[in-house]
Amino acid sequence: MNHLEHLINEKKVFFNYMNENFTIFQYSNLFFRDLQYAILSYFEMKEQPIKYAEAEKIANEFIENMVQNNELTKIDHKSWKINFEVGTNKKQVEMEEVEND
C-alpha cells in the first residue's frame, strides 16, 4: 500500500479521524507534529503501522501536495492554515443532540 496515495485519496476520512483527536476546522492552524502523529495513529488503527521517520516523510509529502492544491496555506516551516471544510466535530454533534432531545 502506498500510504501517501491512500491519504490523498481518503483525505476526508483521514481528516475526520484526525478531528476526533485534534480539534481542527476550516481556517484553523495545522501543525506538522500533530499531522505526523495523526498519520502514525491512523495507520496503526488500520493495522498497517509505520515508523516515525516514514510518518515524517509522508507528512511532508502530504503537506506539499495540499499546498499545491491550495488546501493548505503555509504560515511558517511548522504550521499551515486549513483552507477546506473539515467534517462535523464532536462538540457540534453533542450540541445538536441536546437540541433535538
pLDDT (tens digit, 9 = 90+) per residue, 32-48? Answer: 999 999 999 999 999 99
Over residues 79-93, the pLDDT tens digits come to 999 999 887 544 444
The class level of CATH for 3-100 reads mainly alpha
Q: Where are the alpha helices (DSSP H) in the chain?
A: 3-9, 11-21, 32-45, 52-68, 90-100
Pair 12, 42: CB distance under 8 Å: no
Q: Please give the average per-residue pLDDT across 51-66, as a whole number.
A: 97
Q: Cα–chain-centroid distance for residue 61?
A: 13
Please give the model's pTM, rounded to 2 decimal places. Answer: 0.81
Cell of 95: 450540541
- Residue spans per domain, the chain: 3-100
SS3 of residue 83 by DSSP: coil
